[in-house]
Structures are given as C-alpha cells and as structure tokens.
Amino acid sequence: MSSFKTTEGMAHRKKSKRKHLVHLFLLPAVLLYGVFQLYPLISAAFNSLYSFNGFDKNQFIGLQNFITLFKEKPYNTFFFNAFQHNWIYFFVTVLTQLAISLLLALIIHSKIKGKEFFKSVFFLPKLLSVIVIGFLFSLILNPTRGALNSLLDGMGLEFLTRPWLGSMDTALFSVIFVDSWASIGFSMLIFLAGLQAIEPEIFEAARIDGANPLTILTRITVPMLGPSLMIMTVLVFIGSFETFEYVFAMQGSTGGPYYSTDVLTTFFYRLAFGTVDGGQSIGVGSAIAVVLFLIIGLATSTILFVFKRKDFER
C-alpha cells in the first residue's frame, strides 16, 4: 500500500517537473528581446539624464541634456532646423504619397486588365535596400551626368533642369520624392486591401440611387477606407521621424547642402557616432532619442484617438 503511494507520488512529482519545462518555450524569446531590445530602449531613456565622457557614464545631471538641446547653441539651432524638416517630410509625404497611392489603388480596383502585373510593378521598389535606392537616385539626380536632367534636356524642357540634390530649394523635396517613389507600392497595397473589404452592394445601392462617381468616391469610398488611412498616416508619421537612410545616402550625415536636409536622426547620428565634440554628445544624443520616443508615441496615440472618435460620431 505504502509503496504504491510513493510511486504515485514520484510519478506526480516527475510529471510536475516536466510541466515546468514548458516555460522553456517562452524563455528564449523573452531573454533575447529583453536583453537586446527592451533593456537598451529603457537604458536610452535613463542615459538622457546623465553626463558622459565618450561612451562612459559620468554623473546624474537631471534634465540638463534637454536644456542644452533646446537652449544652447549650436545644439538648439541644429535641433529646431532638423525638427522642422521632419515635419515638412511628414506633411509632404502624406499629401503626395497617400494621394498617389490611393489613386493607383482605385484604378487597379476598378475594371481593368493586368491587375497583378501593375500591382507587382508598383511594389517592386519596396524590395530594394533603401541605401541602394538612395545611391541610385543620387546618380540619377546628379546635375551634370544624371539621367533626369538629360531626360528633361531631351524633351526640350531645359528650363526645368537643376541641381536637384545640390540646391537648398529642392534638396529636401527630392529626398522626399525618392522616399515616396519607394513606398507608394506598399501603401497602394494597403488601400487595395481596404477597398476589397468594402462590400460591393454599397456601391451598387449608391449607383442605383443615382450618385455620380465623384460623390461615391468622397462620400463612400474614402470614409470606408478610414482604417487603412489611419494605418498609413501612422506609418508615414513614424517613417518621417525615423527617416535616416535616404538622407544619409544622398546628402551625407550632415544633411547637405548647408543642413537643408538635416533631420533628427542624422543629427542624432552625428552626436553619437560622428565628430561633433566628445564631452556632451552622448547625453544630448540620448535626449534626442527621448524626444523622438515621445513624439512618435504621442502622435501615434493621438491619431488613433482622432480616428476612433470619428468612428463613434458616425
């Protein structure tokens, strides 16, 4: 009797021990993500409160790095200059990229032949590395040897030729154009997925009621695309404040000419890994990271909130 009890107890213990092994399923993901992503993210926030000597943490200085960033020259000049460019980047991208990709999605969704072909063609640039795209366009937009100016010349449009990346008036817009060129196919697919989710009966009913195509577009299609528009606006916003590679590839880490394409990430890069002075740069760089965390976090939740409220009102 007693021996039966012990074996049962042992079997039970063995089983519960094996049960604990199940936690091994979770462990590798938690460890890898915790150590190499979450810890650095939190650590970046804390670093902004310290002074640094090269990469060595010196002492706690409270919000001094933020005061330096916002108030002290030349940091504040660089910061607000770059900050402004990020906003321009966002607004121009939202207006052009989203409008064009919505137009393309509407065309492909309508009655046409070769849908799959056009989808693939427009999506193609998304597969290339951003640095390959950036470098490719630095060649195409070159003032003397580039293909764009040659093309304009050949079409008799000499008056339009200009140093696209070399002039302060056009440089930022050229970079944004290249970014949009690469991203339109992706946002088009998001809109297309949204369009396909709308029930065809709704359009049918509107048409029977005598609505013209423009009314259908503005009163039915665009409002029904709310979720896709929201996703894309958030993604474009995050992309505009995170943007680094296109500027780096075409205009260098200083965002040339004369910092006219400088953005927060290139300024951040120069502070952390460039040659701006040794003493303060890591602390101030971390402060930029925190500012960007806050902007992206706040904007993402604001946009989500606005769209949510619109949903309730309707």
Partner 1 sequence: MRTRWYFQTIKYLLLALFTFIFVYPIFLMFSSSFKTNIEIFTTPLSLPKSFSFENFIEVWDVVNFSNYIWNSIIVSSASVFIVLFVSSLAGFYLARYPFKWNTAILLFFMIGLMLPMKLAVIPLYMMMMKLGLLDTLFSLIFIYVAGGIPFAVFLFYGFFRTVPKALEDSARLDGCNEFQIYYKIVLPLMKPAISIVGIVNLINVWNDFFYPLIFIRTDSLSTIPLGMLTLFGEYDTEWNLLFAGLSLSALPMIVAFLFASRQFMEGLTEGAVK
Which parts of 94-123 interact with partner 1 (CB under 8 A)? 100, 103-104, 107-108, 110-112, 116, 118-123
Toward partner 1, which CB reaches closer, 255 or 285? 285
By CB under 8 A, what part of segment 19-78 binds partner 1?
21-23, 25-26, 28-30, 32-41, 43-44, 47, 55
Q: Quote the least distance from Cβ 76 to partner 1, whole Å.
A: 20
Cβ proximity to partner 1: between 47 and 68 the closer is 47
Instruction: Candidates 71-79, 86-94, 125-133, 302-310: pick the segment binding partner 1 (CB under 8 A).
Output: 125-133
Dihedral (CA of 73, 79, 80, 85) sign: positive
By CB under 8 A, the count of residues binding partner 1 is: 88
Distance, in Å, from the CA atom of 226 to the CA atom of 222, rounded to the nearest integer, reads 7
Q: Residues 128, 205, 217, 298: which binds partner 1 (CB under 8 A)? A: 128
Judged by beta carbon, residue 5 or residue 17, the one nearer partner 1 is 17
By CB under 8 A, name the one of 17, 20, 73, 145 that touches partner 1.
145
Stretch that binds partner 1, among 61-69, 86-94, 291-299, 304-312 (CB under 8 A): 291-299
Based on the shown chain and the rule CB under 8 A, indicate whether residue 300 belongs to the binding site for partner 1.
yes
Question: How many other β-carbons are positioned within 10 Å of the β-carbon of residue 138?
Answer: 18
151 scored as a contact of partner 1 (CB under 8 A): yes
Specify whether the CB–CB gap between 283 and 47 falls below 8 A. yes
> CA-to-CA distance for 40 and 272, rounded, in angstroms?
15
Q: How far is the CB of 249 from partner 1 (least distance, A)?
A: 8
Could you tell me the smallest distance in angstroms from the CB atom of residue 2 to partner 1?
29
Q: Which is nearer to partner 1, 171 or 289 (CB)?
A: 289
Footprint on residues 156-185 left by partner 1 (CB under 8 A):
181, 184-185
Single out the residue of 70, 173, 186, 307 in contact with partner 1 (rule: CB under 8 A): 186
Tokens, residue 266: 């290139």
Q: Which is nearer to partner 1, 1 or 112 (CB)?
A: 112
- List binders of partner 1 among 222-281 (CB under 8 A): 231, 235, 238, 241-242, 244-245, 248-249, 265, 268, 272-273
Amino acid identity of 42? I
Candidate ranges 58-66, 68-76, 133-141, 156-164; the one touching partner 1 (CB under 8 A): 133-141
Q: What are phi and psi of 175, to 5 degrees?
A: -60, -45
Told to check if 214 binds partner 1 by CB under 8 A, we report: no
CB of 293 to partner 1, least distance (A): 6
| Residues belonging to the chain | 314
Q: Which listed range, 62-70, 76-84, 161-169, 295-303, lies at the site for partner 1 (CB under 8 A)?
A: 295-303
Instruction: Determine the angle formed by the axes of helices 99-109 and 171-197, rounding to 10 degrees.
Output: 40
Give the angle subtended at the CA of 98 by the CAs of 192 and 313, to the nearest 5°. 80
